[in-house]
């Protein structure tokens, strides 16, 4: 499923495990770039992240050669490559549907302000909220969603509605032509294969925490 275009125009499968690490690389490199660090070697970066240098170099080699022998990686350069690989070069036009606490939290998430994710509109069905401006973005009526999506070539829709509305909103987003859905409602959305869905299961990580605490309890 997941692949990257190589020089020859061929397409290569990227292991899911590698895909999961790319955002982590992006995060650490962004951090280093912010601190104006110029270069880093694979063992240094790997140690920070908590993986092996081999794994880091192996992962990067899926996409090309971004290092310099005897020197390491120029952080600015590598961050640029990872950003390109992640598709962050061009702004992704996004809308958010559902202005609850979670929706507001995402709209004000500090990481998004500098990244290339552009919320261009917000939708809700509550007349008291419609017309409000949140983080400089206007809240529009849900009835305008579909036409807005088509008119503005929106690529990604974020669902932060209650469960009860989520599938309906997903349908509207798909009819409006979005290519991806970032879903925070805790249910499995039904979507066509052509649409990419990323589901954030907030509670899963709490169950993992619970499991790990339980393990510690048993061991001692």
Partner DNA sequence: TAGATTGTTAATCGATTAACAATC
- Write out the residues near a copy of itself by the rule CB under 8 A: 1-5, 11, 14, 19-20, 22-24, 26-27, 85-88, 92, 100-102, 104-106, 108-112, 115, 117, 155-156, 162-163, 179-180, 182, 186, 196, 198-219
Q: Which structure tokens are listed for 147?
A: 């036409």
Which of 26, 42, 160, 173 is in the footprint of DNA by CB under 7 A?
42
Please report how close the Cβ of residue 94 comes to a copy of itself at its closest, in angstroms. 9
Helix axes 16-34, 75-85, angle to 10 degrees: 140
When asked if residue 82 is in the footprint of DNA (CB under 7 A), the reply is: no
CB of 22 within 8 A of CB of 33?
Answer: no
Q: State the binding partner of 180 from a copy of itself, DNA, none, CB within 5 to 8 A by kind.
A: a copy of itself
**From 49-57, 93-101, 107-115, 158-166, span contacting DNA (CB under 7 A):** 49-57
**Alpha-carbon span 26 to 48, nearest angstrom:** 13
Q: Is the dihedral of CA 214, 204, 51, 33 positive or negative?
A: negative
User: Which residue lies nearer to a copy of itself by CB, 1 or 133?
Assistant: 1
7 binds, among a copy of itself, DNA, none (CB under 5 to 8 A by kind): none
Residue 8 found at the interface with DNA (CB under 7 A): no
Site membership for DNA, residue 147 (CB under 7 A): no
Distance between CA atoms of residues 53 and 17, nearest Å: 16
Q: Does 81 bind DNA (CB under 7 A)?
A: no
3-class SS string, 142-200: HHHHHHHHHHHCCCEEEECCCHHHHHHHHHHHHHCCCCEEEECCCCCCCCCCCCEEEEC
Identify residues 176-205 at the interface with DNA (CB under 7 A).
none
Say whether residue 60 binds DNA (CB under 7 A).
yes
Binding status of residue 171 toward DNA by CB under 7 A: no
Using only C-alpha atoms, the chain has a radius of gyration, in whole angstroms, of 20
- Alpha-carbon dihedral 93, 113, 204, 23, rounded to 10 degrees: 80
Minimum CB–partner distance for residue 42 and a copy of itself (Å): 19
Unique residue bearing structure tokens 């110029």: 38
**Rounded Cα–Cα distance for residues 197 and 38 (Å):** 36
Nearer to a copy of itself, 70 or 87 (CB): 87
Where do contacts with DNA occur on this chain (CB under 7 A)? Answer: 15-18, 41-43, 51-55, 57-58, 60-61, 65-73
């Amino acid at each position: 499923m997941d692949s990257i275009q190589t020089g020859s125009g061929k397409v290569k499968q990227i292991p899911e495990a590698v895909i999961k690490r790319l955002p982590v690389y992006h995060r650490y490199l962004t951090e280093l770039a912010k601190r104006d660090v110029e270069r880093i070697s694979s063992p240094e970066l790997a140690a920070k992240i908590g993986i092996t240098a081999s794994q880091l170099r192996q992962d990067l080699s899926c996409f090309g050669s971004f290092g310099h022998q005897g020197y390491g990686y120029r952080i600015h350069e590598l961050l640029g490559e990872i950003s390109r690989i992640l598709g962050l070069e061009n702004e992704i036009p996004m809308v958010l549907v559902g202005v609850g606490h979670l929706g507001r939290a995402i709209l004000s998430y500090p990481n998004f302000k500098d990244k290339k994710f552009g919320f261009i509109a917000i939708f809700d069905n509550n007349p008291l909220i419609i017309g409000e401006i949140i983080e400089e973005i206007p809240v529009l009526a849900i009835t305008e969603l579909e036409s807005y999506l088509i008119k503005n070539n929106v690529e990604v829709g974020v669902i932060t509605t209650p469960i009860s509305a989520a599938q309906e909103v997903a349908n509207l987003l798909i009819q409006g032509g979005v290519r991806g859905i970032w879903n925070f409602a805790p249910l499995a959305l039904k979507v066509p294969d052509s649409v990419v869905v990323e589901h954030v299961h907030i509670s899963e990580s709490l169950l993992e925490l619970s499991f790990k605490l339980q393990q510690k309890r048993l061991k001692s």
